[in-house]
Structure 1
């Protein structure tokens, strides 16, 4: 039997308001999922932190070419800014999977291996969740919303969370 995947946060994401109310400084979280067969990166940071990602990968004796799969949770620049670092990876973004310039479309669940699935769910984007079966049970990697957005949206966020929970099951 395969070993369960391990999940590591390479870079912590953040979002903070700067200067004006409509501006923010942000960078997405970058996570690493290691299974026996795959080395999966969830998001690849912003265009200004590529060096930090390379250094963080080296702590696990990995380099960019070792990454087999790159899951981009959504197309904001702080989540997909270093795509070009991962030339060997299959790239999953939205309904597309791309490898070597060849694109495949999937509107359902992407199954990366026995333990890792990408499920379309309502949330920040249509594919905002990665589901893992781990030694601790089912783990979901989800995209966060800024506190301000949650307060403005009110009950709508609660409904999104309920539907996302259903998708995990």
Structure 2
């Protein structure tokens, strides 16, 4: 027997809302990449996704400043108790981002953690809107004010942020330090917010040309497809991952 995987784009939103027992996922802005002209120019922006803890109460959003005395593990668990933003889009999307957050009842000051899947400008162009948040950009983790904390993230060791919430090392597109956010236990299974591990659904003929390490990215793509029920790609609509078991014909 073998498992066949196919993907189907979600024709919803944005926003796309996926509720969960511990965390809900809201795709605030859907990324895009549109060729412009004949010289290879592309107009693009990255997807922006909000991860909301079910226990978060906007009426009690005041928090104590994090000092990092307990190390990265404890600090990550603490900042994951509030709203988490995965990527911020480019600076040209500033007003769209603020409006999308407001429609979810979240202000920039409420966001406790911003995860940048990689360091390209269309994915981390609005970090300045969140000076009070902890930042995990690629593999660099810092608390507000610029206190950087070491951690042991690699492909074999994800960072645990909360129940069913992890950050994975998914190298390839931007080099060796790209990350993805994995949210298990939603009403639609496991959601992987993958940055540019996947540009979009159906990108099989194009992602390699944009990859700094295609071998590593191929490995990351397989890992995501083996786990995800929904993938949020960097530049397109979220898509479902459907698995079918096929009976191999006898030799």
- Normalization by structure 1: what TM-score? 0.85
Unaligned 5+ runs, structure 2: 1-19, 56-80, 229-251
Tell me the CA shift for residue 139 of structure 1: 2.0
Question: Is 1:120 matched up with 2:169?
Answer: yes
Change (3 A) 1:160 1:112: closer
Tell me the CA shift for residue 3 of structure 1: 3.2
Greater CA radius of gyration, 1 or 2? 2
Q: How many residues align?
A: 166
| C-alpha RMSD of matched pairs (Å) | 2.5
Question: Is 1:132 matched up with 2:186?
Answer: no
Supply the distance in 2 between the matched residues of 1:80 and 1:73 (Cα, whole angstroms): 8
Structure 2 counterparts to residues 9-158 of structure 1, below 5 A? 9-35=27-53, 36=55, 37-99=81-143, 100-108=145-153, 109-125=158-174, 126-135=177-186, 136-143=188-195, 144-145=198-199, 147=203, 149-150=206-207
Change (3 A) 1:160 1:119: closer
Structure 1 segments, 4+ long, off by >3 Å, are 150-153, 155-160, 163-168
Does the CA-based 8 Å contact 1:123-1:160 persist in structure 2? yes
Supply the distance in 2 between the matched residues of 1:25 and 1:47 (Cα, whole angstroms): 13
Does the CA-based 8 Å contact 1:12-1:30 persist in structure 2? yes
Change (3 A) 1:77 1:152: closer
Structure scoring higher RCO (CA < 8 A, sep ≥ 6) equals 2
Change (3 A) 1:50 1:124: same
What is the aligned partner in structure 1 of residue 26 from structure 2?
8
Unaligned 5+ runs, structure 1: none
Tell me the CA shift for residue 117 of structure 1: 0.9
- Normalization by structure 2: what TM-score? 0.59
